[in-house]
Amino acid sequence: MKILMIGAHQDDNEFRCGGLAQQLVKKGHNVRFLSLCNGCGGHHILSPKETTATRAKESAAVAKLLGITYDVWDIDDCSLVADLETRRRLIRYIRNYAPDLIISHRPNDYHADHRAAGQLVQDASYLLIVPNECADAPAMKDTPVIMYNEDSFKNPDFHADIVISIDEEIDTKMKIADLNVSQVYEWLPYTYHEEVPETPEERFEWLKGMDITAETTDEEVMAAARGYLVRFAKTAARFRKELLDTYGEEKGSKVRFAEAFELCEYGGTLTEELKHQLFD
């Protein structure tokens, strides 16, 4: 099967569905990341050109680690708009790859690029099967399943239709975070006024936020202020009920790290068979 994860920026797919990406690759599926923006806006010292080049190298390293294909479009950060030209570019791109599943942002989000990405996917969804739209790219026979990755926005609240344990993928997911040096050790700490330790070992510990063990409670996780290990544990704590429903009391209560996805009602049907192939 083919799975297309569409993020506005290089780090969106990584942090929201990097665990699922690795699971799918391990199962023998073909996974592709698309970043609609080129990353040029995300640095306080490097020029836009330098930042784009740096991000491209980091994304290539992520692709290698995960065993996926990674495309980055040439649209500048903070310039993504859900206009007709970009919609048609996306329709052609999706048809060309013909994925079974697409995962992207919800269109209600703090970041204009995330909103535009979600809107573009929604706008493209029905048109994927319409032959007279972008007639030069053969239309798909069926609309792929479309899902949104997790966010914390409340109006409306994110609804977790699928929650998966990524306990076995957490080391890889932290490695992915660590590979995004210009993002997690430079740009984001600058925006949050955070001090980053000097050595690679110290800064990786810092990146985690805190150690999460079998004894760590959901309350402790939710109370923790920062860190990527904490962030991935928060998804498990936030959707503990869904994890118990999915895995049963015994296993569900032990899941430390998770990823969550909401079904987009404009996509194809997530049949039981597809659900089993993709998420079990």
Provide, rounded to whole angstroms, the least separation between the CB of residue 8 and Zn ion. 5
- Which one-letter amino acid corresponds to residue 211? D
Between residue 11 and residue 50, which ones bind Zn ion under the rule CB under 5 A?
A: 12
- Which one-letter amino acid corresponds to residue 156? P
Site track 207-226 with Zn ion (rule: CB under 5 A), x = hit: --------------------
- Which one-letter amino acid corresponds to residue 59? S
Specify the residue, 9 or 208, whose C-beta has the smaller distance to Zn ion.
9
Cα–Cα–Cα angle for 217, 222, 225, rounded to 5 degrees: 120
Specify the residue, 55 or 256, whose C-beta has the smaller distance to Zn ion.
55
Is 238 an interacting residue with respect to Zn ion (CB under 5 A)? no
Specify the residue, 98 or 188, whose C-beta has the smaller distance to Zn ion.
188
Specify the residue, 165 or 180, whose C-beta has the smaller distance to Zn ion.
180
Pair 126, 268: CB distance under 8 Å: no
Binder among 9, 32, 43, 95 for Zn ion (CB under 5 A):
9
Is 72 an interacting residue with respect to Zn ion (CB under 5 A)? no
Provide, rounded to whole angstroms, the least separation between the CB of residue 27 and Zn ion. 27
Site track 80-119 with Zn ion (rule: CB under 5 A), x = hit: ----------------------------------------
Helix (H, G, I), strand (E, B) or coil at 50: helix
Specify the residue, 11 or 169, whose C-beta has the smaller distance to Zn ion.
11
Provide, rounded to whole angstroms, the least separation between the CB of residue 42 and Zn ion. 9
Residues that contact Zn ion, how many (by CB under 5 A)? 3
Nearest to 255, CA basis, from 238, 278, 267: 238
Helix (H, G, I), strand (E, B) or coil at 239: coil
End-to-end Cα spacing for the chain? 14
Distance CA 40, CA 29 (A): 31
Helix (H, G, I), strand (E, B) or coil at 234: helix
Distance CA 120, CA 87 (A): 6
Q: Which residues bind Zn ion (CB under 5 A)?
A: 8-9, 12
